[in-house]
Amino acid sequence: MGTRVQTPGEIERLLGGTDVALLLDTGQLTAAGGEPVQALRDRTARVRRVHLEDVSQAVIANARDRDDARRNGAFCELGTRDVDLLGFFAALDGYDGWVVVEQDWFPADGEDTAAHVAAEVRNRDRLRGCLGI
């Protein structure tokens, strides 16, 4: 999906050979075959930032390339596809760093944004439900 260090093996090699902190990206890691909940449990001490996004493995599997995957909604509304958000937030207990929420969207010329704006409202509502706020 275009990230330099994305697969579980690439992450382990980077962390094994350095003392850098980890930005754990739930969507990119899932897209690369990783499991965000397990990655968080394995590397809690190294996680300094979280990039929260959901991803559809089915869209990725049927895409011609990463741009096709993104244009067709591989990174989608939170809680609608393959990232275990409830499990991830349970494992995130005690974390006090930043969480960045992203839903990649490639608008077509003249496309109405109302559906995407509504999806972002639902994203915030899901986060409130997951976090109990």
CATH number of the 8-131 domain: 3.20.20.150
pLDDT for the residue 128:
84
In the chain, domain spans: 8-131
**129 pLDDT above the threshold of 90:** no
- Token pair of 64, please? 């011609």
Contact 75, 104 (CB under 8 A): yes
Enter the pTM of the model: 0.84
107-127 per-position pLDDT tens digit: 777 888 888 888 888 888 888
67-104 per-position pLDDT tens digit: 888 888 888 889 899 999 889 989 988 888 888 887 77
CA dihedral 87, 74, 1, 92 (to 10 degrees): -20
Q: In sequence order, what DSSP letters do the residues of 25-42 get, joined into one string?
A: EHHHHHHTT--HHHHHHH
